[in-house]
Amino acid sequence: MDGCATHKAPRADGPDGIHPGRALVNLAAVCAVAGAFNIFPEKVGILVSATNPSSLLPLLAPEFQEHMPWLNLYWALAIGLSAVNLALTRECVVTRWADVALSGLAALVMMRLVLGGPISAYPAVTWGIKAALLVALLWTGFGVGRKAGALLVSRDRAPVLGADQVRPTA
């Protein structure tokens, strides 16, 4: 595998190109969610009345804080990978494997959330969130397998000389 540094960067609309606008929106969204859950966890909730800010119903159960170290690890790595992809302006074998690993971590965090204690202070909301997380977990697991399989059989893992090529002899 050549890694990232040995290839010329393709245009952003190529198969390996990073779309800067989409990447920046993704980066901003991850930062906003991480900030909200870390700085204002009591403000993550449902606003009953737009005219009465005190009508906020907090959504997170106190037990949810047990998951924050894992979520923070995932968010930090996701921010880092997005920043690297933006700096490189494209994906490469190394960043694709990093994405597979990050997706695997996401699956583990989702599994932890599904199997762990309450997420919300409201049991019906916890059940709904866990059901959605289970669907997302299955989807993520399928995606990890698909991405890893594609990387394992990709041309990036192919030997320098193919079976039809012959090395010159001296």
Alpha-carbon torsion (121, 130, 143, 65), positive or negative: positive
pLDDT score recorded for residue 5 = 53
Helix axis angle for 68-88 and 93-115, nearest 10°, is: 160
Alpha-carbon torsion (76, 80, 83, 85), positive or negative: negative
Lowest-pLDDT range of 23-37, 63-77, 142-156: 142-156
Mean residue pLDDT across the chain: 82
pLDDT score recorded for residue 133 = 96
* Contact between residue 137 and residue 107 where contact means Cβ atoms under 8 Å apart: yes
pLDDT score recorded for residue 6 = 43
**Is the pLDDT assigned to residue 52 strictly greater than 70?**
yes
Tell which wins on pLDDT, 4 or 1.
4
Domain parsing of the chain, residue ranges? 20-157
pLDDT score recorded for residue 4 = 62
**Is the pLDDT assigned to residue 23 strictly greater than 50?**
yes
